[in-house]
Amino acid sequence: MTNPFSLEGRRAMVTGANTGIGQAIAEGLAQAGAEVICVGRRSCDETVARIESAGGTASSLMVDFSDPMAGQSLFQGRDIDILINNAGIIRRADAIDFSEEDWDDVMDVNLKALFFTTQGFARAVMDRHGQGAVVNIASLLSYQGGIRVPSYTASKHGVAGLTKLLANEWAAKGINVNAIAPGYIETNNTEALRADPERNKAILDRIPAGRWGEASDIAGAAVYLCTPAARYVHGAVLSVDGGWLGR
């Protein structure tokens, strides 16, 4: 009997795979049997080395998604079955002071690049009449407002909406599109929050699990959404948040 949780024979691309959540997802996909292409604006050599040392297969590409169209060409000459849209940035400032530059920079990477990269992936899958899976990395701020991150909040609301729209259009064409909304995870993006004693305590006090999440906590959910076990899951935004939204 075929293992429905196996990714043997599948080829995955993970953006923002040089560190944090993207690195953990890349490792998780490789452990499930996928060949993984690690993409980042910084070197992904560490991620590739970690995968290879564990017996997996990986390679890397350097792409800067501040050019929102940079991802469109990634699928030319490559048969990619899985796309993980993890690359993202954040800028923090009070809304009253927020600059146009910080707005545009975040929206370009987190939303515009995500859409056009996914469009390129889907075109390639459909051209070969293949099967594909897309997992977008959304956020708790796809549901909530947060504070001091207006462009990040807007972009992550957009990611959740796009996930549903693309699922509606592509579910019958062999492409699963879903998203994961991570809770408060120990990554570079949350370093400022963890360094602020008051914010850190307030966050921990609300998380039923009683701890910050680890990047590896997201990897299992991502692997599941890419496997045949999730073949009838379309347009879901799966919260992996230690119980935050249920509080």
Q: Among 185, 187, 169, which residue's Cα sits nearest to residue 177?
A: 169
Domain count, the chain: 1
Q: Is the pLDDT of residue 242 over 70?
A: yes
Average pLDDT, the chain: 97
The CATH number that applies at residue 81 is: 3.40.50.720
Structure tokens at 99: 């600059």
Q: Which residue among 143, 152, 184, 224 is the active-site one? A: 152
Containing structural domain, residue 83: 11-238
Q: Strand pairing of 11-15 and 82-85? A: parallel
- C-alpha–C-alpha distance, residues 77 and 96, integer Å: 46
- Residue owning tokens 């452990």: 31
The answer to the question of residue 6 being in a domain is: no
191 domain-assigned: yes
In a domain, 247, yes or no: no
Over range 150-162, report the average pLDDT.
Answer: 98
Displacement of CA 219 from its chain's centroid (Å): 10
Residue 1 domain flag: no
pLDDT digits (tens, 9 = 90+) for 157-196: 999 999 999 999 999 999 999 999 999 999 887 888 899 9
Query: What's the whole-number mean pLDDT along residues 45-54?
Result: 98
Q: What is the DSSP letter of 31?
A: H
Confirm whether 232 is a catalytic residue: no
pLDDT of residue 189: 78
**Domain-located, residue 5:** no
Asked whether residue 29 is assigned to any structural domain, the reply reads yes
SS3 44: coil
Q: Taking CA 79 as the corner, what is the angle to CA 77 and CA 80, rounded to the nearest 5 degrees?
A: 125
Q: How far apart are CA 196 and CA 66, in angstroms?
A: 29
* % of the chain exceeding 70 in pLDDT: 100
Query: pLDDT, tens digit, for every residue of 63-94?
Result: 999 999 999 999 999 999 999 999 999 999 99
Phi, psi of 81 (to 5 degrees): -100, -25
Residue 84 located in a structural domain: yes
4 within domain boundaries: no
| DSSP β-bridge partners for residue 12 | 36, 82
For the record, the structure tokens of 164 come out as 């549903």
Please report the pLDDT score of residue 237 as a whole number: 98
